[in-house]
Amino acid sequence: EAQVTQNPRYLITVTGKKLTVTCSQNMNHEYMSWYRQDPGLGLRQIYYSMNVEVTDKGDVPEGYKVSRKEKRNFPLILESPSPNQTSLYFCASRGLRRTDTQYFGPGTRLTVL
Amino acid sequence: DQQVKQNSPSLSVQEGRISILNCDYTNSMFDYFLWYKKYPAEGPTFLISISSIKDKNEDGRFTVFLNKSAKHLSLHIVPSQPGDSAVYFCAATYYGGSQGNLIFGKGTKLSVKP
């Protein structure tokens, strides 16, 4: 089954404790992206990657890091989480064409205390 | 500056009637528009799209209309069903714009009452 998986689905942590949210896709997609969803703000892009070792900032990259060492994986790293990073996070992937359908993962609910 | 606007945070419709969700955009370079549907505890899923060379695209109960001069698109759901209750996101992209990244609106929560 074609899918984007994220782990963990739920995470409660404390300020300053480094964490990684994993994302993996099995569709051989070149493009992968991270979004956060906040009430009243919709979906905002954090980082995206056009292919292995190619990453770029989205609209709200501050406080986040990403890496793309393998085509299927695109982890999101919070080196020093803060309460304003409490949010619902989605990973997504699609083919190279911008009109290709973008598939989203199920989401990761992160709470930073 | 918000480039894609969904000005109605919520919409309530009776089962069997038409649901109309609206979306406005400000960037005249946008040439491809999409609607995504999101259920609670799930990721958004693609619903329907339209290219700027068209003014209408239909897929079953779902039709998207594009009015380029007004920079407005709308999603019509006919007839509406309780299973359509979800948050609907409008999104847009344009050639040459940040690798074609999607710009999303804030979403409209649709409630279809039996």
B28-69: per-residue pLDDT in tens? 999 999 999 999 999 999 999 999 999 999 999 999 999 999
A66, A53 Cβ separation under 8 angstroms: no
pLDDT of residue B98: 62
User: What three-state secondary structure class fits B14?
Assistant: strand
As a whole number, the mean pLDDT across chain B is: 95
pLDDT of residue A62: 97
Q: Which of A35, A63, A29, A31 is nearest to A47 (CA)?
A: A35
CA angle A8, A58, A89 (to 5 degrees): 20
CB-CB under 8 Å, A48 with B101: yes
pLDDT tops 90 at residue A2 = no
* Chain A nearest CA to B68, separation (Å): 19
Residue of B46, B98, B105 lying closest to A102 (CB–CB): B46
* Chain B nearest CA to A22, separation (Å): 15
What six digits make up the tokens of A102?
């973008």
- DSSP of B54-103, one letter per residue? -SEEEETTEEEEEETTTTEEEEEESS--GGG-EEEEEEEE-TTSGGG--E
- Residue A107 touches chain B, beta carbons under 8 Å: yes
Which chain A positions have a beta carbon within 8 Å of B6's beta carbon?
42
- Residue B81 touches chain A, beta carbons under 8 Å: no
> What is the DSSP pairing of strand B32-38 with strand A108-112?
unpaired
Q: Which of B1, B15, B30, B13 is nearest to B88 (CA)?
A: B13
pLDDT tens track for A36-95: 999 989 999 999 999 999 999 999 999 999 999 999 999 999 999 999 999 999 999 999
- Residue A47 touches chain B, beta carbons under 8 Å: no
Top pLDDT among B5 and B95 is at B5
Which chain A positions have a beta carbon within 8 Å of B46's beta carbon?
101-103
pLDDT of residue A96: 87
- Residue B100 touches chain A, beta carbons under 8 Å: yes
Which chain A positions have a beta carbon within 8 Å of B7's beta carbon?
none
pLDDT of residue B97: 60
pLDDT tops 80 at residue A21 = yes
Q: Which of B61, B16, B2, B67 is nearest to B37 (CA)?
A: B61
Average pLDDT over residues B75-80: 98
- Residue A101 touches chain B, beta carbons under 8 Å: yes
Interface test with B, best of A102, A103, A108, A109 (most B CBs within 10 A): A102
A11, A110 Cβ separation under 8 angstroms: yes
- Residue B93 touches chain A, beta carbons under 8 Å: yes
Give the whole-angstrom CA distance, residue A6 versus residue B15: 34
